[in-house]
Amino acid sequence: MRSMADDPKGARRVLVTGLSTYWGGRLAAALESNPGIEAIIGVDSREPTRELARTEYVKVGAEHRLIEKIVRAARIDTVVDTRLMVDSVRGPDGRRPEQIHENNVIGTLNILAACSASGSPVRKLVFKSSAHWYGCAQDDPAYFTEEMSRRYEPETRVERDVVEAEAAVAEFRDQRPNVTVSVLRFANVLGAEVDTSHVQLFGMPAVPMIAGFDPRYQFVDEIDVVHALEHVVVRDLPGIYNVAGDGVLTLSEVISLLGKRPLPVIPPWGTSIAMAGFRRIGLTLPSEMVKQLRFGRGIDNRSFKATGFHFRYTSRETVLHLRDRLRLDPVAERRETEYSYEPAVEDFLRHSPHVDRSRKDMGREDAALFDPSPPVQD
């Protein structure tokens, strides 16, 4: 198991998808401080929300033809896909469910297609996934390990998206044995700066519970999420890894640690009807979260810790960290702006210093990337 610290020649040219998202921006900022990273290119359809020093931003969505151009032109060897949305209510920019599905599944297929092109320089793919892959059920094991298969068909939209996206990544892995594919399945994320349905729920003075249920919970701190992604980027760690802070808490313990009051008012049956009442007070619980409020879930993190990763926070400490840092400031809406794909990509191909350094020893096919003239029609 080698890292950049072990190999001074292991500098990587990294493409981060979803640069404007919380995770994409935080990861790019973390990679900037790593001297082993030679170049960082970030792509997204929206402007980055974080100040970045040496990350080059290209305004482009998940259109595989354009991503492929960027990958080949900049000689990208590592692609980190951070775009997966696993909260059907707190999606960025108020995206509708069908838009979230398009991002999660169609977008993933496009990123994989861009990495699969003939002669692609990509040698590593890191995919940020979710423990929603396992689902939640009454007879689940105490802890899911990475080797376990999913026990039931997905019941919620987010679960279906995660399963479909991971299936596409697995097919890519089988077809490209020369590419190291790392999949990280994260537990529920908490933090003062992340906006999730769980953070919204725990921010209430009294926290609703499903009557008669006290499910088990694991959490991973937002800081550990970024460090986990960086850990995998700089190491060759093929496979699937569960990422969750040590320890398991019951929901009532979580509520107590936060200094809140439990409110077991959600009926165990007809839960969806009861949710309508909560929506009137501004609380919307997504279907994937309601399942967790009933049965909970535990994932085994030993495989990931065996790679040398050290969690800064246990599940309990993550809750206490949230308690100390919780802010209830409303999230400012981001203004959408129109843009054009092609000019942004062409500007990158023409003027990026990273691309300039990649033109050495380039074949005729790759050199054609820089030819601004349109193709000749037969």
Which pLDDT does position 170 carry in this prediction?
98
Across the range 332-358, mean pLDDT stands at 59
Q: Tell me how many domains the chain contains.
A: 1
| CA-closest candidate to residue 183, choices 148, 247, 133 | 133
90 in a structural domain: yes
Q: How far apart are CA 15 and CA 39, in angstroms?
A: 8
373 in a structural domain: no
CA atoms within 13 A on the CB side of 33: 6
Lowest mean pLDDT among 93-97, 199-203, 293-297: 93-97
336 in a structural domain: no
DSSP 3: B
Is 212:221 a contact under the CB 8 Å cutoff?
A: no
Query: Range of 26's domain?
Result: 12-187+222-244+299-309
Which pLDDT does position 200 carry in this prediction?
87
Which one-letter amino acid corresponds to residue 26?
Answer: R
- With 80 as the cut, is the pLDDT of residue 118 above it? yes
Record the tokens describing residue 36, joined without a space.
């082993």
Q: How far apart are CA 328 and CA 318, in angstroms?
A: 17
374 in a structural domain: no
Q: Bridge partners of 235?
A: 3
Which pLDDT does position 337 carry in this prediction?
41
pTM score, whole prediction:
0.84
Total count of residues recorded for the chain: 378
- With 90 as the cut, is the pLDDT of residue 326 above it? no
180 in a structural domain: yes
Highest mean pLDDT among 93-102, 166-175, 350-359: 166-175
DSSP symbols for 260-299: -EEEEEE-SSSHHHHHHHHHTTT----HHHHHHHHHB--B
Instruction: Kindly report the backbone phi and psi dihedral angles of residue 231, in degrees, each rounded to the nearest multiple of 5, phi listed first.
Output: -55, -40
Q: How far apart are CA 263 and CA 265, in angstroms?
A: 6
Highest mean pLDDT among 55-64, 149-158, 226-235: 226-235
Which pLDDT does position 62 carry in this prediction?
76
226 in a structural domain: yes
- With 50 as the cut, is the pLDDT of residue 330 above it? no
Q: In CATH, what number is assigned to the domain containing residue 64?
A: 3.40.50.720
Is 117:66 a contact under the CB 8 Å cutoff?
A: no
Those residues whose C-beta lies under 8 Å from the C-beta of residue 365, and which sit 6 or more positions away, are 119
Structure confidence by residue, pLDDT tens digits, 240-278: 999 999 999 999 999 999 999 999 988 888 676 666 667
